[in-house]
Structure 1
Amino acid sequence: MGTFQIEGGHRLSGEIQPQGAKNEALQILCAVLLTSDKVSISNIPDILDVNKLINLLRNLGVKVEKTGKGSYTFQSDDLDLDYLSSDQFKKDGSGLRGSIMIVGPLLARFGKGFIPKPGGDKIGRRRLDTHFEGFIKLGAEFRYNKEERFYGVEAPNGLKGDFMLLEEASVTGTANIVMAAVLAEGKTTIYNAACEPYLQQLCKMLNSMGANIKGVGSNLLEIEGVKELGDCEHRILPDMIEIGSWIGLAAMTQSEITIKNVNWGMLGLIPTTFRKLGIHLEQRGDDIFIPAHTDGYEVQSFIDGSIMNISDAPWPGFTPDLLSIVLVIATQARGSVLIHQKMFESRLFFVDKLIDMGAKIILCDPHRATVIGHDFKSQLKATTMSSPDIRAGISLLIAALSAKGTSTIHNIEQIDRGYENIDERLRAIGAKIERVD
């Protein structure tokens, strides 16, 4: 188990380049299974979850070639489908939640797809019903081996397009269904589809391969099935979750930081939400400049004077992956804020570690926490803690970098799952952080 030792209380300075988007990469990499032609992808982040998926694709028989930093080619022209029945596949697939998205492409191209119950963050229930209900609407038969916790779908007679109204706007569910539908016979209509930037990127990539998807960016997708897909080149967006993390880091450490090449048009409500907390950020070309908040930052209130409430929602609402960051930032704000995590009932349970550091937080229930800010009049105290998941892990790291004294964070593999070489990149802007194995 890896550990970070962080000497907090230092101001940082400099520029930081966001990595490629983890959540987009997991979708895009699964899409290479839809064609036997070569697919080139750039700006792939070098992180544990993505590397696990690339390794799974290799084991499935995909020809993978690294052509440069973050750049790869993939060719799925000679797959070993027997791998799907192997013990190795059960191990590979169960360690990564994103592995669920290989099912749609395999089902579309080969008429069958299997996956062990996926792993991932322990942030509450994350149902897979949307994925499989979509496949069933397209004509697939579903089966589940309860003893081996193994899911499967088969469509020996092929898939046929249909209308479906999704029960929830699941991002991975929508992605999986879209990848199955692009090769289905006839027209598929998906209403209440997720429309996150990463899903938009997937649809644009598929269209460049020869798919016929309309309504990209909306919650109503119309897909005319095609016989086959071809090659393409695709570049992954900068990771908006990491961008939000660096905004939070700058605010909490009262540092002047420039975040480079953020693709402003795809950030949605992220800049607006941070401004509600009183954080000043400036658009400079395609960069974000955050000045040193030496006088702190003050939480806004609603027009009627009531306490600010920040909650998550499907896109274009505020992403749930940044609520942990917002909560940490609020601990040093001037004023109070209610954090409402609607989508995952276990994501706020890391606040006990912040309370140990001296934060004033009232955990109202599994979904809501009220934070009373210190206004930097009382610095957080260093402590020893363990990272429970990716987003809580980076939040605790930000707290440690702002705290007085030396903190220790165990189980940093959770952070490495989502953030590329984070200790090296933080040291480059002045952070005192060391990795200890």
Structure 2
Amino acid sequence: MGTFQIEGGHRLSGEIQPQGAKNEALQILCAVLLTDEKVTIHNIPDILDVNKLINLLKNLGVKTEKLGPGSYSFQSDNLDMDYLASEQFKTDGGGLRGSIMIVGPLLGRFGKGFIPKPGGDKIGRRRLDTHFEGFMKLGADFRYSKEERFYGVEAPNGLKGDFMLLEEASVTGTANIVMAAVFAKGTTTIYNAACEPYLQQLCKMLNSMGAKISGVGSNLLEIEGVEKLGGCEHRILPDMIEIGSWIGLAAMTQSEITIKNVNWDMLGIIPTTFRKLGIQLEKKGDDIYIPAHTEGYEVQSFIDGSIMNISDAPWPGFTPDLLSIMLVIATQARGSVLIHQKMFESRLFFVDKLIDMGAKIILCDPHRATVIGHDFKSQLKATTMTSPDIRAGISLLIAALSAKGTSTIHNIEQIDRGYENIEARLKAIGARITRID
């Protein structure tokens, strides 16, 4: 188990380039299974979760070639479908939640798909019902082996388009259904579809391969089935969660940082939400410039004077992956804020580690925490802690970089799952961080 040692309390400065979007990469990589032609993808992040999925695709028989940093070609023209019944597949698929999205492409192209119960962050219940209910609506038969913890869908007579209203706007569920529906006979209509930038990117890629998807960017998608898809070339967006992480890092360490090439048009209300906590952001071309907040930052209040409430919601609402960052920033704000995590009931449990560091936080229930900011009049104290998941891990790292003294963070593999070469990139802007294996 890896460990970071962080000497906090130092201001940082310089430029940092966001990696490719993890959540988009997991969808896009699964989509290479939809064609026997070559697919080239650029800006793939070199992170643990993505590398696990690439390895799974290789074991399935996908021909993979690394063309350069972040660029790969994939060709799925001779897949080993027997791999899906192997113990190795149970190991490979069970260790990665993103592996669920290979089911849709396999079902659409080959009429069957299987997956062991996938892993991922322990942030609460994350149901798979949306995925499989969508497949069944397209005419697939579902089976689940409780003993083997194995899911399967089969459609020996092919899929047929239909109308479906999703119970929840699941991003991975929508992606999975879309990838199956591109081969369904007739027209598939998905209402209450997720419309996150990652999903928009997937639909644009599929259309470039020959799919016929309309309504991209809305919650109403129409998919006219086709018989075959071709190859394409695709570039992954910069990771909006990492961009938000670096905004939080700049604010907490009172540092002057420029985040390069962020693709502003795809950030939605993320900049606006940070401004609600008093964070100053400037748009410079396609970069975000954050000045050093040497005088601190003050939480806004609502028009009626009530306490600011930062909550998550499906896109175009505020992404739940950044609520942990907002909570950490609030610990040094001037004023108080209520953080409301609506979508996952275990994601706020890392706050006990921030309380140990001296933060003033009241955990109201599993979904809500009230933060009373220090206004930098009292630094957080260094401590030893363990990263429970990706987003809590980066939040604790930001807290440690702002704290007085040397902190230790264990289980940093959780951070590596979502952040590429993080210690080298942070050192380049002045962070004092050491990795110990």
Same fold by TM-score greater than 0.5: yes
1:426 alignment partner, SS class: helix
Tell me how far apart the structure 2 counterparts of residues 300 and 146 of structure 1 sit (CA, whole Å).
50
Q: Give deviations 1:264-315, integer Å, cap 9, x for gaps.
A: 0000010000000000000000000000000000000000000000000000
SS at match of 1:139: coil
Percent of residue pairs bearing the same amino acid type: 90
TM-aligned CA deviation for residue 178 of structure 1: 0.1
Q: How far did residue 164 of structure 1 move? A: 0.1
Deviations 1:327-350 (A, max 9, x none): 000000000000000000000000
Partner Cα distance (1:270, 1:434) in 2: 30
Deviations 1:156-190 (A, max 9, x none): 00000000000000000000000000011100000
Please report how far the alpha carbon of residue 68 of structure 1 lies from its aligned counterpart in structure 2 after TM superposition. 0.4
Question: 1:424 deviation in Å?
Answer: 0.3
Q: Is 2:185 the counterpart of 1:177?
A: no
Alignment partners' CA distance in 2, 1:176 and 1:161: 14
CA separation in 1, counterparts of 2:342 and 2:117?
Answer: 24
Question: How far apart, CA to CA, are the structure 1 residues paired with 2:69 and 2:269?
Answer: 30
CA–CA separation in structure 1 for the residues paired with 2:182 and 2:281: 40
Quick one: distance in 2 between partners of 1:229 and 1:186? 16
Equivalents in 1 of 2:422, 2:277: separation in Å? 25
Structure 1, unpaired ranges of 5+: none
Q: 1:42: how far off?
A: 0.2
After superposition, residues 416-427 of structure 1 pair within 5 angstroms as 416-427=416-427
2:123 is matched with 123
Structure 1 residue ranges, 4+ long, deviating more than 3 angstroms after superposition: none
SS of the residue 1:433 aligns to: strand
Q: Is 2:266 aligned against 1:242?
A: no
- RMSD over equivalenced CA pairs, Å: 0.2
Give the whole-Å Cα distance in 2 for the aligned partners of 1:88 and 1:75. Answer: 21
Query: d(CA) in 2 for partners of 1:255 and 1:265?
Result: 25
CA positional deviation for 1:368:
0.1
| Whole-angstrom CA distance in 2 between matches of 1:67 and 1:185 | 36
2: distance between equivalents of 1:104 and 1:344? 25
Structure 2 CA distance for aligned equivalents of residues 366 and 51 of structure 1: 32
CA distance in 2, matches of 1:334, 1:270: 20
Q: How far 1:215 moved relative to its partner?
A: 0.1
Post-superposition offset of 1:227: 0.3
Superposed displacement of residue 422, structure 1: 0.3
Q: Give the superposition deviation at 1:205.
A: 0.0
Shift of 1:152: 0.1
Shift of 1:70: 0.1
- Equivalent residue runs for 1:356-375 within 5 Å: 356-375=356-375
- Secondary structure of 2:325 counterpart: helix
Q: Matched residues in 2 for 1:303 and 1:215: separation? A: 35
C-alpha separation between the residues in 2 aligned to 1:224 and 1:173?
Answer: 19
Instruction: Output the CA distance in 2 between the equivalents of 1:253 and 1:201.
Output: 33
Q: CA deviation at 1:131?
A: 0.1
Give the secondary-structure state (helix, strand or coil) at the position aligned to 1:52. Answer: helix
Instruction: Tell me how far apart the structure 2 counterparts of residues 145 and 305 of structure 1 sit (CA, whole Å).
Output: 54
Count of residue correspondences: 437
Tell me by how many angstroms 1:223 deviates.
Answer: 0.3
Q: Distance in 2 between matches of 1:223 and 1:175?
A: 12
Residues 78-130 of structure 1 show CA distances to partners (whole Å, capped at 9, x for unaligned) of 00000000000000000000000000000000000000000000000000000
TM-score (normalised: structure 1): 1.00
SS in 1 for 2:123: coil
3-state SS of paired residue (2:354): helix
Structure 2: unaligned runs, 5 residues or longer = none
CA distance in 2, matches of 1:310, 1:433: 30
